[in-house]
Amino acid sequence: MSPRQRILSGIQPSGTIHIGNYFGAVENWVRLTKDYDCFFMIVDLHALTVDYDPRRLPQRVWDAALDNMAAGLDPAKCTIFIQSHVPEHTELCWLLTCVTPLGELYRMTQFKEKSSREGENVKAGLLCYPILMAADILVYRADAVPVGEDQVQHLEFSRELARRFNGRFGDYFPEPAALIGRGARVMGLDGAAKMSKSMDNIIGIGEEPEAVWEKLRPAKTDEARKRRSDPGEPGRCNIYSYHKLVTPEAELAGIAAGCRGATIGCIDCKKIFHRNLMKVLDPIRERRRELALRPDDVRDALNDGARKARAVARETLDGAKKLMGLL
């Protein structure tokens, strides 16, 4: 039997996983654990690249671990760990830094966006962020990386870095393919920007139903639909794009027709979405509550994950060092 292909992905500890993370990536991760050898991590080292509060970071990492496990990542079926517990990532990162042309880093969209927000305070770590991400992937010689659309450029960068390394030192790293989730780019509640914790436009997967409703009620719909009797256009409505993530086909068709024919108002439409979303989020919230009562099990799973990850990462790193001529 041929060995299973390997998958790697990661998520920042940004406080809470939102439905963009979930439908863009994590839902896909859970599905992939059935057929692939999967490695998933909380990328605490990436979180250091922008201004942050060191007193709050441990809780953020812990919350991310609970959220991921509650969302369905089962430590018995995949390797789940905290990035900084596997120092091989940063060691490979340095080796790759020495094959990365500086100009390529300045071209990264995420660097341009985040560095403009950080102003004078921008760190070299933010510029080198994509090298660490490439190291995360290549240190497992991953075949594929499930991500949302916003990470595609970083993934292309990782492929390019693998090609450069292979061209210079010999064929070693596979070029990792991107696997894009169902919600490739989930927009924020404002309908204007991608859903993102830093934009404060999110629905967290652990939020209580009432809190989610309070956010949905004023959320943007089709702006041309001013009165309930105005016909709407689902293609212009952010809530309709959310429906596509959770609402069954047949019901979806009815909602689109009801919007166009003005038989369903925006509030009714949001209520249906809320109900369908909660069918996905209720069990996640419940599992999270249970996991929070068993912190030792969660900690053991993460330690175990780091041990397994290190064994694989060490082997790859040793091979790369040898190829680069290190004794």
Residues in touch with ligand TYM (CB under 6 A) = 8-12, 20-21, 24-25, 43, 46, 133, 136-137, 145, 147-148, 150-151, 154, 183-186, 194-196
Helix (H) or strand (E) holding 111: helix 109-118
Q: Out of 34, 77, 112, 194, which one is annotated catalytic?
A: 194
Q: Out of 123, 197, 308, 321, which one is annotated catalytic?
A: 197
Backbone angles phi, psi at 235, to 5 degrees: -60, -20
Nearer to ligand TYM, 28 or 247 (CB): 28
Residue 166 token pair: 């292979």
- Taking the complex as a whole, the smallest distance from the CB of residue 190 to ligand TYM amounts, in Å, to 12
The beta strands (E) that lie in 83-231 are given as: 144-147, 177-180
Residues 296 and 303: their CA atoms lie apart, in Å, by: 10
Contact 176, 213 (CB under 8 A): no
Nearer to ligand TYM, 21 or 276 (CB): 21
Contact 222, 260 (CB under 8 A): no
Q: Out of 77, 112, 114, 226, which one is annotated catalytic?
A: 114
Determine whether 194 is an active site residue.
yes
Determine whether 114 is an active site residue.
yes
Nearer to ligand TYM, 71 or 255 (CB): 71
- Taking the complex as a whole, the smallest distance from the CB of residue 47 to ligand TYM amounts, in Å, to 9
Contact 67, 104 (CB under 8 A): no
Nearer to ligand TYM, 147 or 266 (CB): 147
Determine whether 220 is an active site residue.
no
Residues 6+ apart with CB under 8 A from 188: 20, 194, 195, 196, 199, 201, 202
- Taking the complex as a whole, the smallest distance from the CB of residue 241 to ligand TYM amounts, in Å, to 11
- Taking the complex as a whole, the smallest distance from the CB of residue 114 to ligand TYM amounts, in Å, to 10
- Taking the complex as a whole, the smallest distance from the CB of residue 206 to ligand TYM amounts, in Å, to 16
Residues 6+ apart with CB under 8 A from 326: none
Nearer to ligand TYM, 81 or 225 (CB): 81
Helix (H) or strand (E) holding 289: helix 266-292
Contact 50, 118 (CB under 8 A): yes
Between helix 266-292 and helix 295-323 the angle, nearest 10°, is 90
- Taking the complex as a whole, the smallest distance from the CB of residue 231 to ligand TYM amounts, in Å, to 29
- Token pair 């991590």 in the structure block, residue: 41
Nearer to ligand TYM, 150 or 268 (CB): 150
Long-range contacts of 209-215 (CB under 8 A, 24+ apart): 209/274, 209/278, 209/281, 209/282, 212/274, 212/277, 212/278, 212/281, 213/274, 215/189
Residues acting as catalytic residues: 114, 194, 197
